[in-house]
Amino acid sequence: MTTTPVPFNAHVSQRVADAVRFPQKVFNERERTHLHRWAKRSGNRIVYSALGKIYVKEGDGEPRRLLNSNYLEYSPNFSLDGRQLTYVTWSDAEKGAVWIANADGTNARKITDKPDQYANPAFSPDGQKIAYLKGRGNVNHEEELVSESAFEIHYWDGAQSRYVMDLQSRGTNARMPILSFDPAGERIFFLESPPAPATPPGQPATIFSALSSVKISGDDYKRHVEARFATEIMPSPDHNWVFFKELHKLYLAPFPRTGKTLKMNSTETILPVKSISKNSGDWLTWSPDSKSVQWTLGENFYEQTLEQINRQLTKDEKPVEPKATRIGFEFESARPRGLVALTNARIVTMKGNEVIERGTILVEDNRIKAVGARVAIPATARRIDMTGKTITPGLIDVHAHMSYNTLDIIPEKQWPYWANLAYGVTTTHDPSAATQSVFAQSEMVKAGSMVGPRIFSTGYPVYGAESPEKAPVNNLEDARGHLARLKAVGAFSVKSYNQPRRNQRQQIIQAARELKMMVVPEGGSTYFYNMTHILDGHTGIEHAIPVAPLYKDAVTLFAKSRSGYTPTLIVGYGGIWGENYWYQKSNVWENEKLLRFTPRSTIDARSRRRVMTPDDDFYHFELAKSVRDVVRAGGKAQLGAHGQLQGLGAHWELWMLQQGGLTTLETLRAATLSGAEYLGLDREVGSIEVGKLADLMITDKNPLDNIQNSESISFVMMNGVLYDTRNMDEVYPQARPRGKFFWER
């Protein structure tokens, strides 16, 4: 049978909205905190954790450090009488502990004697006992914090700690088991996420959380409240009420003690449920006297009295805005001081096609002061000879998934951050991350209390699928609310994900324009979603368009819009992922440098038992050709390595972009300047120019000769600090070794 093409012309007119994009400020000499966790008031004191330390705001005073410890400090909680404080600490060397102190931070003493992973301590009403969560010892066996998926409940009786219950035996995960006592101090209450019961075919999954309790003796387990979409449920200290969050909104309901499990949600319950605030919030808690609810969002600590809420319940009065107390504060951004000249290097500046064959980069503090073949070097500057080396801008990974933390307890060293820096990645953007962790870590990197690339993120996606984290968007006001809550904690972008209707996605775009935010959607391997994303003006497309090749209509649409393309070829849709190609082509488990910054278990699990397939079965080649076509037609593509293999994965993505036919310079531009332009960061990063931040990747071999020379990194400079990537010891401004990772101890 033969086929004959039938020629035809189709005249199509489509309106393409301008892609939403706004310039962002990358570095400020002084920043403000936006992520404040475990905030709680007692009297005139509000305590909370920020920048990895516990802070207190007293009255109208400025927030200040409460404790004088060398540990990371988390989970502060007052006794009901306000006289005592309990909290947990973490040290990579010493592990975790539970502490008790006076409310003013004095007389701090450790109450646990076994180093482990601890979280969420809570006082009994009489202040004589403390319930807390304890890990199962994984961190003492060369495992990382995130390895714990379930915890044990323990309590301290004033003299010794006692075991209560193993949450894992109930199938409960460690998403957010906040602890509290009943008024008699005889039962410990906790939020759990038990396995959902089976549902009939075709019916939506029954996803739920439960407020449960157990006697301090460990028996008589009871489930009190079930809520399908609740992510926090906090009973009042007198146990007359429950304060809960459902689908990012806050509600109050009575807590009757009927002896039966109460099924509760915001719309279908036998109990009166009242909305607390039109805004969202986190870290739900109560005043010690049960007369007001408390929560946190962004810079503010909010309180609403029960009296006011009840008046609204009975008289349907106009809601009164909650009391807001600003607990955010300014901190000085970390940066080195001094002058350093990197001399005699080949410099690929990303200013057009400019390559300076034997040039100097002069860095003052954390910014580039001069660059060129003839640079006057002050006598006070330190000189570092880079003869034979090539300097490019630091890599920008716009689709990086790096670090997660169980119960929001963050270690001193996040190995994925170090691995990315060791491979030249100096700026990252995570388009789907745990909100409470990623923005806390971003601020810690800014403050210099944690080493890592620059961390930007959307936080958790504006998610449309059935999940406790679902973000319903039924109108423009809903969209504004979801974007505003994420902007409040530090986001300048959001991920629009699985919002099923096009008008919902358009409402998110409109809210983003109003709030000056960006929207990076994921089409979920659906071509028609991708095309409407482009038409409607999304900032870009995350993940590959699954159809290849792209024909002229799609290429032209993509190129002429201002939407960027992040193909993540490493997990490319439509065929075998590109990640598997590199496992097949190299013995990754023998990569000594990678193993210095990555637990061996992570490497072995991914690489030793590898998929083996003919080269022509790998689909990423075809996807990469479509990327080339979009770029050649005038569009922009950028690098996103999806966190598949931290650090080295970014280079695999770089090499795969080049396999589609881009030149080496076009490929390097996609990994640097194009990524900066995509995120609105190009005024300060992405190229080597005077005034920009000193984020640099330094290789022994020239990547312009062979793109795979990008892996020959010998130094990386991030924010003006120079590291030797063989071991990530700091070279400038100080010579100091990197401390040990947990698997090296």
Instruction: Say whether pLDDT at 663 is over 70.
Output: yes
394-458+520-681, what's its fold?
A: TIM Barrel (3.20.20)
Output the six-digit token pair for 137. 């010892």
pLDDT of residue 228: 86
The yes-or-no verdict on residue 631 having pLDDT over 80 is yes
Residue 99 in this model has a pLDDT that exceeds 60: yes
What mean pLDDT comes out for the span 22-42?
A: 97
Terminal Cα-to-Cα distance of the chain (whole angstroms): 69
Mean pLDDT for the stretch of residues 628-637:
97
Dihedral pair phi/psi, residue 451, rounded to 5°:
-95, 135
Q: 33-197+205-331 adopts what CATH topology?
A: Neuraminidase (2.120.10)
Q: pLDDT at position 524, please?
A: 84
Q: Identify the band that residue 148 occupies on the pLDDT scale cut at 50, 70 and 90.
A: confident
Distance CA 738, CA 725 (A): 11
Q: pLDDT value at position 14? A: 84
From residue 496, alpha-carbon distances to 411, 463, 500, 538 in Å are: 30, 6, 10, 9
Residue 206 banded pLDDT, cuts 50, 70, 90: low
pLDDT in tens, 320-360: 789 999 999 999 999 999 999 999 999 999 999 999 999 99
In the predicted structure, residue 386 carries a pLDDT above the cut 90: yes
Average of pLDDT values for 530-555? Answer: 95
More confident residue, 598 or 314: 598
What does the domain layout of the chain look like in residue ranges? 33-197+205-331, 394-458+520-681
Kind and range of the H or E run holding 729: strand 729-732
Q: State the pairing for strand pair 53-58/249-254.
A: unpaired
- Name the pLDDT band for 197 (thresholds 50, 70, 90): low
Nearest Cα to 653, choosing from 633, 627, 686, 615?
627
Judge if 33-197+205-331 and 394-458+520-681 fold alike in CATH terms.
no
* Residue 407 banded pLDDT, cuts 50, 70, 90: confident
Among 89, 91, 254, residue whose Cα is nearest residue 99: 89
Please report the pLDDT score of residue 319 as a whole number. Answer: 66
- Summarised one tens digit per residue, pLDDT across range 409-464 is 999 999 999 999 999 999 999 999 999 999 999 999 999 999 999 999 999 999 99
pLDDT at 266: 87
Q: What percent of the chain has pLDDT over 70?
A: 96
Closest CA to 344 of 723, 698, 31: 698
| Distance separating alpha carbons of residues 253 and 100, to the nearest angstrom | 32
- The size of the chain, in residues, is 745
pLDDT tier at 267, thresholds 50, 70, 90: confident
Q: What is the mean pLDDT of residues 461-472?
A: 91
Name the percent of the chain lying above pLDDT 90. Answer: 82
Beta strands in 366-467 (DSSP E): 367-372, 382-385, 390-393, 395-397, 425-430, 454-457, 462-463
The DSSP element (H or E) to which 254 belongs, if any, is strand 249-254
Is residue 380 pLDDT above 60, yes or no?
Answer: yes
Assign 272 a pLDDT band (cuts: 50, 70, 90).
Answer: confident
Average pLDDT over residues 592-610: 94
Alpha-carbon distance 188 to 177, whole Å?
Answer: 11
Sheet of strand 249-254: strand arrangement: 230-235, 241-246, 249-254, 274-277
